[in-house]
Amino acid sequence: MSLIRSASALVLGAALSIGAVGHSSVAVAADMPVKAKPVPVATPWVLDVHGYADLTFASTRVTGGGLLLYDHGYLTQLDTGLALDVYKDPNGFINSFTVFGGTWNEFWDSPPASSRSWQEMDWWVGATVGFAKYWSLTVQHVQFNFPIPSPPPTAYNYDLKLGFNDASFGLPVTFSPFVEVFYNAAGGSTVVFGKTDSTYRVTFGASPTINLAKATGIPLTLVVPTWVVIGPSDFWNRNDGTTSVCGSTGTAPCSLSNFGYVSTGLRGLLALDSVVPKRLGNWYVKGGFQYYHINNDALLAAQVAVGSASAFTAAQRDVVVGYGGLGFSF
């Protein structure tokens, strides 16, 4: 029975009651309690799912530790991930809590005859806590796997990152500064000649970003990712008698240094909202370059070990990586 028809029936019943028994029946009807709808209680506990996929084509790669891996050909890299927002409270000290996981795969178009195109597969799981409105702390387990024949050992790592979000300040340029500690727990050195376990590197960086959409009408975002990497000298040179691979002859001891490298670049990201409907995700195309100045001699010697340089004297101290690609998020 509809609400309108129910109301009509109630009015008709009340009129009949007036004629039959007088005004007392009307008073009883007026005193009948009205059942109110319950008001939903807001809760910070949520279950919001986000994800992304990113496809990159690159001229070469310098690892997070500063190791140049390839001297020719090009790379195809596929990065995918999912995140689950569990908690959101913009008014508390703890503003958010998110768990996430992902995989990254790299393919080389010019592997040696004894190798294969699929060079590396990394995976990670972790969590991010947002706090004090502008800050975030991310902790994750990261594992490097190498499917090539006679691969390096699997590397087991942990990563801790503290970031500051200045996006709400209303500035024309945001900077998003961060400090990150990468801990190599076990499985061998990630830079060839470094300590094989229980060592770390520290990255100080920022990503100056400007969105040109408001000023130009073009949905283009420009980013200048910049960072410097330092750490204990044994992260790059374990100095145990097996690292005399530097100098003009390739047999001299490598110098000890706490400075790994410095990097800066320019990335452009063009949103495709006018081409791809929002219901299919937020699509984009990207392109740019990243410049690296490698300061550590042990990193230069490591280029010889992985085949990206023919000799220590031919190792590249200054490297430019060009790249382009596309992806989406939801």
Nearest to 74 by CA among 87, 90, 58: 58
CA 153, 155, 158: angle at the middle one, nearest 5?
170
Distance CA 19, CA 31 (A): 19
Q: Which residue has the tokens 């990712």?
A: 225
Encode pLDDT of 266-299 as tens digits: 999 999 999 999 999 999 999 999 999 999 999 9
pTM, 2 dp: 0.87
| DSSP-assigned beta bridge partners for residue 259 | 230
**What pLDDT sits at residue 34?**
57
| DSSP-assigned beta bridge partners for residue 137 | 129, 162
**What pLDDT sits at residue 22?**
43
Integer-rounded Cα radius of gyration of the chain: 30
User: Phi and psi dihedrals of 208, rounded to 5?
Assistant: -55, 125
The whole-angstrom distance between residue 255's C-alpha and the CA centroid of its chain comes to 34
pLDDT over 60 (residue 43): yes
300 CB burial (10 A radius; 0-12, 13-18, 19+): buried
Q: What is the DSSP letter of 134?
A: T
**Single-letter code of the amino acid located at 271:** A
Rounded average pLDDT over 133-149 = 97
Distance CA 190, CA 102 (A): 20
First to last CA, the chain: 42
Q: Which residue has the tokens 């000290």?
A: 93
Taking the domains of the chain in order of start, what are their residue ranges?
48-329
**What pLDDT sits at residue 31?**
52
Encode pLDDT of 209-247 as tens digits: 999 999 999 999 999 999 999 999 999 999 999 999 999
Rounded average pLDDT over 29-45 = 66
Alpha helices of 156-224 — where are they, by DSSP H? 213-216
Judge whether 109 and 81 are in contact, CB under 8 Å: no
Task: Pull the structure tokens for residue 271.
Answer: 């949103």
CA 75, 77, 78: angle at the middle one, nearest 5?
160
Average pLDDT of every residue of the chain: 91
Rounded average pLDDT over 38-63 = 92
Task: Pull the structure tokens for residue 17.
Answer: 């009651």
Distance CA 284, CA 55 (A): 11
Judge whether 107 and 79 are in contact, CB under 8 Å: no
What is the fold, at CATH topology level, of the domain defined by 48-329?
Porin (2.40.160)
Q: What percent of the chain has pLDDT over 70?
A: 88
218 CB burial (10 A radius; 0-12, 13-18, 19+): exposed
